[in-house]
A and B are shown apart, each in its own frame.
Chain A
Amino acid sequence: MMNGRAQMNIVIVGHVDHGKSTVIGRLLADTGTLPKGKLESVKENCRKNSKPFEYAFLLDALKDEQSQGITIDMARCFFKTAQRDYIIIDAPGHIEFLKNMITGASRAESALLVIDIDEGIQENSKRHGQMVSMLGVKQVTVLVNKMDLVDFREEVFEKLKADYSDFLAQIKVKPVSFIPVSAREGDNIATLSDRMPWYSGATVLEQLDRFTSDKQLQDKPFRFPVQDIYKFTRKNDDRRIVAGTVAAGSVSVGDEVLFLPSGKQSAIQSVESFHTTPKKLATTGEAAGFTLTTQIYIRPGELMVKPSEPLPEVGTRFRVNIFWVGRAPMILQKEYKLKLGSARASVKLAEICNTLDASDLSYSNHKKQLDCRDVGECILETSRPIAFDPASASETTGRFVLVDNYEITGGGIVLENLSADETLLQRHIRERESNWEKGLIKTKERERVNRHRAKFIVFTGLPGTGKRSVAKALEQGLFDNRLNAYYLGVANIDRGLDADLGYHVDNAGERLRRIGELARILTDAGLIFITTIDDADDYDIEILKQLNEPSDILVVNMGENSFSRYHPDLQIPAGGRVADAVQEVASMLKTKEIIIEYQI
């Protein structure tokens, strides 16, 4: 048995007073969705108060009755045709309701855009057209409303259709159709109007039923954002399950899979599910889970793909379209949090290429920030690589949101990967180095007097592997050998150098940068600078390495190695004797000619 009728979400947008409510009221009335006697009583009420009846009043009257169980509010209302159920998401034309409109439109599969033929194309007619397109709604039908005010004349309709088509073409939107209607009078809503014999296309209801809900994601390359890794041990469950929702394509038991950006590979051992018949395949839209044929260490946020299909992009720098709704503007150089698929990364706005003024469609390339409601083509840079697709290739893995101070303050789509360009970090280091002021002492002289070279030593590994004990003992040992070593507890920075950052997760990138800058200074001073970092990944080390240049970094990993491609200089098992570990590091320092000798 097929459970649940097919359902489609439709968003209705347009400028204030262009007739959205009337269209909705009409659709409800003409599909017989209204409670018995409702229409008559609202009409009667209008007659008593000597005002002309409008369908918008009907909507208001329904809103007042919410508590009596009629499912309608300013956000959504429900009606059905013989073919399927519809949820109409009413996106208010008022600018204050923008966030509601985004929420509604990003769940819609198609859009009705209402334009008043008498008032013509207004700011929101354009702005909404652009937003609906950016939000990924591919099917847009334009309702040219209030045809009764222009005596149902074809040439007026054709003129508006041409003008608005021009605009849509500029933002690369191809509307499904234009329908001339009079929502108030009911023309071309449920039945073809005999007052516009020149129009022979679909009525609004017919058009709704013609929209398709198949987004063709099924046939695209397999994309699976890894939402989480589960290992629930209750009742001796030993499955290690990679969980998430299939964003595009499909995968079967036995398929080779590749995780990006880590580059790790494995194959699908099983498709896991609860209370279903056994599965061999998972397809687009399914909330699925897999076990793999090999034990590999992967993190949530990776993108699982099939190496046999076109691969997604991996990079840190990309050109995007951003739609900003934050109260505070989006500014250059500040850290934000980016959420794309299941990936999270700290991100900076590197460049604003241009912004579009929706009111006159003019492009500006002078803006230094994105203000609330701005749409801008920009370049973003993440602190570490993420895997993604250009939105034109695979929409579900090509769009993202930006978080500022706990709030979602913007959304956008990826246009292209620019990772070959110089990154913000590289530029920062280049500029820093070209302005670096040296004292009179040459590095060689300092090394001769110190009897050792400078080094930045980082202990990595999961918490509880004893890396701090070893790091401190190493400092002591080097000191006892009259070498200039300094151990820094990372917690010391939290309340000192980083006190301005607070404990906000979005500042992780900045915290790391400051450790790297400290290392640059302390190694320049000739020190062997020792610190520890919990659970660092490849990119953390890469960032520290770059920031510490021209000095060298030495990475000692304690316990399980969770790096994906990076090979630590030294790997020490957890739980051994501290003195042995120190001895191992000291030997390596000798081998690398950082120190000449080391005595216990």
Chain B
Amino acid sequence: MDHLDKLEAQSVYILREAYREFKSLCMLWSIGKDSTVMLWLARKAFFGHVPIPLVHIDTHYKIPEMISYRDRIALEWNLNMIYGENREALDRKLTFPDGHTDRLTCCKYLKSEALKHTLSGEWPRYRMDHELQHYVLDEGREPYTGVIVGVRADEEGSRSKERYFSPRDKDNVWDVGDQPPEFWNQFKTDFAPGTHVRIHPLLDWTELNIWEYIEREKIPVVSLYFNQGNGTRYRSLGCYPCTNPVDSESRTLNEIIDELKSGRLSNIAERSGRAQDSEDGGLETLRRDGYM
């Protein structure tokens, strides 16, 4: 087994462990390359099926290609696709693009708050109806007690401290200083009522591994990751007001891989195009509060 085979096997093991132990489980799909690889790994784990609902938090400021890609894949792969949103903040225009909040507050409202209340079932969830081919209000309101998230340890400092199975308390808070031990391949799969567990199957993957795997498996990803001719491409996907493309000539998977290995991106942080990270406190502040 080469390194990618080992990473794949470990992620599959984690996904199966989560599916076995958590009665109410969901997987967050941000439409980005990492969680798309995770979705692919779920198809590996469950032999072509995805028996876990996929949850996307729609800020309604996502780059339009992301949403059309999401819905196309959801139909093609027969996914139990669900999205949630912060309707109130959107209606009251409490957003950065509307000029009423700073970037971090906007993230907090449209992502963290929406996520928290969608997971708990307090706010409406919309589910793809495969016959009607559009979203309908989901009847299911039960809280998810296991949430599978595609974070990687190499992305950024706070994520490198994560466990594969990471408990969150009633308020979604992560106690970084007191995390459970993970002996070998035995993880925290027991949890007290009212708490939930975040599961991180991609923790050991690097950005380069992700691209190498996408190339090996021929996984379809959003075209925004490639230079379409104007000399730029997105390296990390988010909302269009806060996400900027990077200068890059890479038009193919192999060109992206070369660029990361030895080219001009090998020494620049992956999330450098994400404006909210450079605000005060940045990602760690967001994450303590429930951001992914």
Contact = CB atoms under 8 A, between A and B. Distances in A.
Nearest to A235: B78
Contacts of A68: 269
Interface string B167-188: 0000000000001111111111
A67 B186 CA distance: 30
A505 B216 CA distance: 43
B217 interface: yes
A71 B49 contact: no
A78 B209 CA distance: 15
B212 A285 contact: no
Given A5-B3, A274-B43, A103 B182 contact: yes
A308 interface: no
A403 B167 CA distance: 15
B179 A408 contact: no
Interface string B1-38: 11111111110110011011000000000000000000
A272 interface: yes
A76 B51 CA distance: 34
B249 interface: no
A239 B47 contact: yes
Interface string A91-102: 000000011101
A106 B184 CA distance: 5
A245 B43 contact: no
B272 interface: yes
Contact of A6 (B3, B45, B209): B3
A76 B183 contact: no
Interface stretch (B54-62, B117-125, B143-151, B277-285): B277-285
A234 B160 contact: no
Interface in A13-35: 35
A234 B78 contact: yes
B192 interface: yes
Interface string B124-161: 00000000000000000000000000000110111011
B19 A228 contact: yes
B118 to A, nearest CB: 25
Contact of B13 (A106, A287, A407): A287
A287 B282 contact: no
B46 interface: yes
B20 A232 contact: no
A3 B4 CA distance: 6
A26 to B, nearest CB: 21
A100 B9 CA distance: 23
A505 B190 contact: yes
A106 B190 contact: no
A453 to B, nearest CB: 43
Contacts of A337: 190
A378 interface: no
B43 A411 contact: no
A239 B49 CA distance: 12
A241 B9 CA distance: 17
Contacts of A234: 49, 78
A69 B3 contact: no
A374 to B, nearest CB: 15
A215 interface: no
Interface string B248-292: 000000000000000000011111100001000011100000000
B108 interface: no
Nearest to A506: B190
A275 B209 contact: no
A401 B183 contact: yes
Given A99-B181, A232-B51, A274 B44 contact: yes
A562 B2 CA distance: 41
A406 interface: yes
Contacts of B154: 71, 78
B3 A227 contact: no
Interface size class of A (residues with CB under 8 A): 35 or more
Given A407-B188, A411-B181, A285 B9 contact: yes
A479 interface: no
Given A35-B267, A287-B16, A406-B191, A69 B183 contact: no
B49 A408 contact: no
Contact of A274 (B47, B51, B181, B272): B47
Contacts of B234: none
A335 B36 CA distance: 41
B180 A408 contact: yes
Contacts of A98: 181
Interface in A430-482: none
Contacts of B46: 230, 232, 274
B209 A4 contact: yes
Contact of B183 (A35, A135, A272): A135
A136 interface: yes
Nearest to A300: B20
Nearest to A232: B49
A245 B9 contact: yes
Contacts of B181: 98-100, 102-103, 325, 408, 411
A401 B182 CA distance: 9
Contact of B3 (A3, A71, A100, A103): A3
Interface string A519-558: 0000000000000000000000000000000000000000
Nearest to A87: B204
Nearest to B12: A287
A275 B44 contact: yes
Interface centre among B44, B157, B180, by most chain A C-beta atoms within 10 angstroms, is B157
Contacts of B96: none
A273 interface: yes
A572 interface: no
A323 to B, nearest CB: 9
Nearest to B152: A71
B271 A69 contact: yes
B3 A67 contact: no
A335 B188 CA distance: 18
A67 B19 CA distance: 33
The 8 closest A-B CB pairs, nearest first, are A69-B269, A66-B157, A4-B3, A287-B12, A411-B183, A99-B181, A232-B49, A401-B186
12 contacts: A3-B2, A3-B216, A68-B269, A71-B153, A230-B46, A230-B47, A232-B46, A232-B49, A234-B49, A274-B44, A286-B5, A407-B180
Interface of A: 2-7, 35, 63, 66-69, 71-76, 78, 98-100, 102-103, 106-107, 135-136, 227-228, 230, 232, 234-235, 237, 239, 241, 243-245, 272-275, 285-287, 289, 300, 325, 337, 339, 396, 399-401, 403, 406-408, 411, 505
Interface of B: 1-10, 12-13, 16-17, 19-20, 43-49, 51, 78, 153-154, 156-158, 160-161, 163, 179-188, 190-192, 209, 212-213, 215-217, 267-272, 277, 282-284
Given A4-B209, A71-B160, A103-B182, 9 more contacts: A3-B213, A67-B284, A68-B269, A74-B161, A228-B16, A230-B49, A287-B16, A408-B182, A408-B183
